[in-house]
Structure 1
Amino acid sequence: MHGQHSTQRVLELTKYANETSWLRVITILLVTPLPCLVVTVLVDILPLADPSEGLEGNKMYFVRLFYTFMVITFLATHQFRLNVPVLPYPLQRTIRNTVFISGFCVGVYYGLATAIGFPLPFSLMTLTPIWISFVAISLAMEWKKKLKETPGAGRMLVSSIKLWMCEALLVFTYPVYYYIFSTLSRKGKTAFALLLPVIKLVMKNIIARSVVHLIDEMPEVVVFNAEVFNALFVSYCMQNSPSVWITLEMMVFDALMMAFSLRDTGNSRRSLKELERRIEHERSWGSFLDRASSSTRRSSTRLTTLDRASMLLHHNFKPEVAPASSLDGFKPVFVSPAAAKSSGAAVKSFRSIIPISSKQLFGRAGVHPATNTDDNSPIRYTRKVQQLVYAAEFLLLLNYVEVIIPLVYSIYLYVMYQLPNRDYYAQLHGVDPQHLVHTLKGVQLYGSLQLVSLLVLFFVLQCSLGLSPIHQLAFVLEKQKSGVQLKLIFWVYYNVQASLQHSGYDYSLKFAWLHQ
């Protein structure tokens, strides 16, 4: 969580917080999870045959498999389009390549299933290296010439490939964890559940180091990869072992992590207030209103922390054209000479996203105004706010994901229970209505506790730090909607397919159907 948002990002957030209606904000928060749910449920409208009927009896499964590769290939390719905006990749060619790659992968699957048996053991994991190769070839064919001609494109592409490999690592890491978890006793599961947050933390750090060029977008990229996958597996584990103790154990760990991150909010708020009083004494906040944007021109008595930071940024920073890390490509941003010199060092200084150190984020060190330079107070104030907004975004996205994933998973289980393919899913096979209700209650208990955690976070950020947390959350979900939806759809859809009998997942490694 160490880092800070760019000047342009803070200005855009301030404008969004002041001009966006509450109806729009609430709608965004509620609608964001729907696309991943629709895409995931839609594929099960196609009725499947029993896997025991073999290849010839499961022709509909190959239609479904083609749809699956269409979804994940388009999402993977679109991720490269977002992360390397300086290289052109027209949508028409993206769709064309997606169709070809999906067809090739289905053909490879059919050949392997004919030779080895149907269902192909761990089919999605088995085909992942082949699928990655096909996507890589298509990218090479598309960008080979442009890559050499475009400055900075090579570094962006390498970072994007690193992110892709991290996502592939997630695919292979969590199934192993789930297998071990499912074989343990109740007490063993309670103890082993503590390893899940450790895995999540490690994956967050690995992913963060792979996208250092996406400074403003890093919180979204990290959280909607590592956290979504982790939350899905927590939901699976809750269903496999709906123990109240495991639920409470996970919640206590999350609460401790958030408390550690927010433990010095009081010190941080006092430091900001001290800087505000110093700036008011030296120059008066009213003198900054003239150059502020219309979205922050309000009475100085009603100014929020974001408003004050935005006014200072408008006043002290001159607009210059600089390479933006935005997913939208290159655009003008506001930078100061000092910030421009330190931008490269800021990226290199990134070390980890472990819970925020109080001294680095909320402590007194480094946030008190200098005593010998009047101009230092506004600079220190804006930098502190940029850091706070950056850290707040991490926490908001993390808690939001932990609320919506149990909700999405519960709705998915209920809807799937009404469809004919339910008996082919491990989590629904042989489940009676009473057991389904019991499972949903366990998952929703976890989701409800996470909702309380999110509301507490809203309160702390709003009242203690003077930020606009609900608007900031909606701002990220709307501004980076392509990246958010890409990751939500990919991970929810992939995890659901992994539990389908036709996908050949047998954690006992016996693969009994191959010996029949």
Structure 2
Amino acid sequence: MIVQASTSWLSRFSRIWNSLRVEQHGHYSAQRLIDLQKYSNIINTVELLVIILATPLPCLLTVILADVTPLNSPEAGTNSNIVFWLRSCLIIGLYTMSFVVQFREMLPTLPMSRERSFGITVFVSSGVILFAYSMSLVIGFPVPFLMVVGAPLWMILILGSFAISWKNLICGDSAVQTQIVNGLKMFMVQMSMIAIYPFYIYIFTSLSSVGQALFSLVLLIIKLAIKNGISLYIPSNIDMQPEIVVFNVDIFNALFVSFSMQTSTSKLTVIVIVVVDLLRMASSLREVKLLVHELKKLEKQINSLKPLVQDGINLTRKQRNPLSRACSIIARRSFATTNFDMRLLSAKQGPRLQVKPLHFLFRSKQVLPRKSFNHHSKYHSMGAKTQETRVPETLNADSKRWKSSRTDPQPKFVFLERQYARKVLNLLHLTEFTILIEYIEVIVPVVYSIYVVAMSYLPNRVYYAQLAYMDVESTLSNVLLYSFLEFLSLILLTTFLRKTMEYSPTHQLAFVLRTQWKMVQSTLVLWVVYVVQSSLVHFGTLKMPQLLHYVDLRLIQRS
């Protein structure tokens, strides 16, 4: 009884855990698969390395150049800090442009010219800076929590600008209204990170070494919650889901992990965070392995039927990896008949590894027609693997079609090929998520470490609380250790995927960074600059008691 209860509890926990992991709830479109295959065939090693290594450079240069010009002390007053106000205008303009670019990429059907994007950026940035400057004249300089105080006005101005730009479309099309509302909801979830993570750091820095190690597990809960919140409202373009989620949540999370490492008093926190990350990666690799195993079983069934059908083609040795097979299937099935249109390979009734949270996908160990599934699932419900397959309606129709004519292998062959293509689309979505997460967890600590070293030679370091009295070697030891361990996990991941899928995941990584560079760069620059600048003393980033005392003194002086 105890063993059965523990097995049932673990099984239930596993299902809930998998349902909350957004990387397991999606698929590639058929067109994206074809584009990836073409890109992989033309890219060379030099170009691949340049793309992967050069991607973090814009955000690194931006965050360093922002502090090249010396700032005056906050005690000098608001009118003596013209340099601060000028750079603040540029930084807020950068934030605004980043969000405008994200909206343009997420909602490509809505008109947003470059001129209008630039106009919105200038309007919003000017309005926020004028408001902040007015607050500094009334309250005093620096304004306590200036970024937090200015955020509501910034949101009102940018959302109002969007509403004015798209008012005609909003009024006349309910589908567009739904897209915009979902985009705004996702935007609100993104903005919640600005409040949640600083509060986490405030608690983290006040704990003991053991307390910090245990409290670091809260990061996992925060990340899961925000990822699911963003995924819930991502527009209909499922191909953008990995980039939107990873280059928002995981960048922000990696930056604050770097902050936590910098302020941590022991190596125990590093160990806990790395172990949790390895467990997450192991879960993804297990899912990859299961999918590849299913693909191999489908391959055997397809190969056994190939001599009996007319349209089975022989792939060369170089074309026998899952991507090439799936591309071949899509190319043939998309034009064969109207019943096997390419759209069915990527529509809602297509890939079904993705499910909404708490609607679980269970997988069988055999590819069976629908009538066989009940018996098969009962048989396996007594084992450790209590998973069954929910077959899409289109698959049920296909299954009935080829079962009704057992003497003709053609319908069954088509059914198996379509199922094979769907699983490849699922697999690529999962591997893209996994490789992007590992890539971010390597480059963000490296970017932060280079920034800290550069700041040690710049005069503005005295205005950053975490940099003013730092010793570079001791400050970066934990951060660099964390980055090195993540780099090893990235090497392990790429080796495993290359061997398992017979395809290089670095090609997939370069494909994302190159083809969706606007979304990648806008989010990368946005969050790196925001997190670093948020600790500047001129933005009122003091501890709460000091701020309240500071405001009281200013108000007394004014009266």
What is the TM-score of this pair, normalised by structure 2?
Answer: 0.82
Aligned in 2, Cα 1:340/1:100: closer, same or farther, shift over 3 Å? closer
Aligned in 2, Cα 1:259/1:18: closer, same or farther, shift over 3 Å? same
1:377 aligns with 2:400: no
**Superposed displacement of residue 320, structure 1:** 12
**Superposed displacement of residue 460, structure 1:** 1.5
Question: Which of 488, 492, 497 is residue 452 of structure 1 equivalent to?
Answer: 488
More displaced stretch, 237-246 vs 390-399: 237-246
Amino acid at match of 1:487: T
1:426 aligns with 2:443: no
1:258 aligns with 2:281: yes
- 8 Å Cα contact 1:81/1:89 also seen in 2: yes
**Superposed displacement of residue 351, structure 1:** 2.4
Unaligned ranges ≥5, structure 1: 291-296, 322-333
Question: Which of 434, 457, 470 is residue 506 of structure 2 equivalent to?
Answer: 470
More displaced stretch, 228-237 vs 356-365: 356-365
Aligned in 2, Cα 1:406/1:360: closer, same or farther, shift over 3 Å? farther
More displaced stretch, 491-500 vs 91-100: 91-100
1:80 aligns with 2:97: no
1:66 corresponds in structure 2 to 89
1:214 corresponds in structure 2 to 237
Question: Which of 162, 180, 183 is residue 206 of structure 2 equivalent to?
Answer: 183
Amino acid at match of 1:100: F
- 8 Å Cα contact 1:285/1:300 also seen in 2: no
Quote the Cα distance in structure 1 between the aligned partners of 2:185 and 2:287. 34
Quote the Cα distance in structure 2 between the aligned partners of 1:404 and 1:218. 20
2:531 corresponds in structure 1 to 495
Q: What is the CA RMSD across the aligned residues, in angstroms?
A: 2.9
- 8 Å Cα contact 1:208/1:352 also seen in 2: no
1:270 corresponds in structure 2 to 293
Quote the Cα distance in structure 1 between the aligned partners of 2:426 and 2:185. 26
1:52 corresponds in structure 2 to 75
Quote the Cα distance in structure 2 between the aligned partners of 1:486 and 1:360. 41
Quote the Cα distance in structure 2 between the aligned partners of 1:361 and 1:403. 36
Quote the Cα distance in structure 1 between the aligned partners of 2:484 and 2:308. 42
Amino acid at match of 1:66: C
Tell me which structure has the larger Cα radius of gyration. Answer: 2
Quote the Cα distance in structure 1 between the aligned partners of 2:540 and 2:483. 30
2:215 corresponds in structure 1 to 192
**C-alpha offsets along residues 154-212 of structure 1, whole Å, 9 cap, x if unaligned?**
22211211121011101111111111111112221111111111111111111110104
- 8 Å Cα contact 2:362/2:389 also seen in 1: no
Quote the Cα distance in structure 2 between the aligned partners of 1:8 and 1:58. 52
Amino acid at match of 2:140: G
Aligned in 2, Cα 1:244/1:206: closer, same or farther, shift over 3 Å? same
Aligned in 2, Cα 1:26/1:513: closer, same or farther, shift over 3 Å? same
Quote the Cα distance in structure 1 between the aligned partners of 2:309 and 2:39. 22
1:438 corresponds in structure 2 to 474
Aligned in 2, Cα 1:449/1:285: closer, same or farther, shift over 3 Å? farther
Aligned in 2, Cα 1:382/1:338: closer, same or farther, shift over 3 Å? closer
1:203 corresponds in structure 2 to 226
Quote the Cα distance in structure 2 between the aligned partners of 1:393 and 1:76. 23
Query: Which secondary structure state, in structure 1, belongs to the residue aligned with residue 546 of structure 2?
Result: coil
Runs of 4+ in structure 1 over 6 Å off: 285-290, 345-348, 360-364, 367-371
Query: Which secondary structure state, in structure 2, belongs to the residue aligned with residue 67 of structure 1?
Result: helix
**Superposed displacement of residue 128, structure 1:** 0.4
What is the TM-score of this pair, normalised by structure 1?
Answer: 0.88
Query: Which secondary structure state, in structure 2, belongs to the residue aligned with residue 216 of structure 1?
Result: helix
**C-alpha offsets along residues 35-69 of structure 1, whole Å, 9 cap, x if unaligned?**
11112222112211011111122121111111111
1:411 aligns with 2:418: no
- The residue correspondences of 1:38-437 to structure 2 (distance < 5 A) are 38-149=61-172, 152-263=175-286, 265-283=288-306, 299-300=316-317, 302-318=319-335, 335-337=342-344, 340=347, 342=349, 349-351=355-357, 359=363, 366=389, 372=403, 373-431=412-470, 435-437=471-473
- 8 Å Cα contact 1:425/1:501 also seen in 2: yes
Query: Which secondary structure state, in structure 2, belongs to the residue aligned with residue 87 of structure 1?
Result: coil
Amino acid at match of 2:329: L
**Superposed displacement of residue 342, structure 1:** 2.2
Indicate the percent of aligned positions where both proteins have the same amino acid. 34
**Superposed displacement of residue 366, structure 1:** 4.5
Quote the Cα distance in structure 2 between the aligned partners of 1:475 and 1:403. 18
**C-alpha offsets along residues 229-284 of structure 1, whole Å, 9 cap, x if unaligned?**
00000000111115211101100001111112222544433322221122122126
Aligned in 2, Cα 1:180/1:283: closer, same or farther, shift over 3 Å? same
**Superposed displacement of residue 146, structure 1:** 3.1
Quote the Cα distance in structure 1 between the aligned partners of 2:84 and 2:214. 39
